[in-house]
Structure 1
């Protein structure tokens, strides 16, 4: 059961990451690329969280916190930069 669940989650997270990378490549605007990078980072957080849940350890919790904070701060900074360019 655990192997099948891990396989399904790996496939789903891989497809999500590939679609986010495609959007980053093709995105017509900076904000599309920012959203795609945020989705990619959230996919990474989901993958690390999934790995921690399957192997049943909490040693990756600091990594999850740092990735989440990095995503939040990076997204806010890029949006503020984009708003400053439009004015």
Structure 2
């Protein structure tokens, strides 16, 4: 087995651990904003995993999927932040 195989396995292991820790925080998060940040982190980890897989295969077909997931994660986070800001402004 080549060195790149070990790099591939190590990368996916670290990404998997990141997903597990993020899911733990998503479930245990004390506030809604913590959960929103966790969902954004999950989208970043998913895009990273797709990028690694695409680089291993040498395929550029996944580029559109990566951009779409990243944009959805970004727009979702911005929307939740604006909603939270308005809610905090209305309270006090």
The TM-score with structure 1 as length reference comes to 0.95
Quote the RMSD (CA, aligned, Å): 0.8
**Shift of residue 31, structure 1, vs aligned partner:** 1.0
Distance in 1 of aligned mates of 2:45 and 2:31: 21
Gapped runs of 5+ residues in structure 2?
none
Whichever of the two has the greater Rg, that structure is: 2
Any runs of at least 4 consecutive aligned residues in structure 1 with deviations exceeding 6 A, and if so which?
A: none
Q: Once the 2 structures are TM-superposed, how far is the Cα of residue 43 of structure 1 from its aligned partner?
A: 0.2
SS of 2:82's partner is helix
Question: Distance between the aligned counterparts of 2:74 and 2:42, measured in 1?
Answer: 13
SS in 2 for 1:57: coil
Instruction: Provide the residue aligned with 1:14 in structure 2.
Output: 16
Show the 5 A alignment for 1:1-87.
Answer: 1-87=3-89
Q: Which runs of 5+ in 1 are unaligned?
A: none
Q: How many equivalent residue pairs?
A: 87
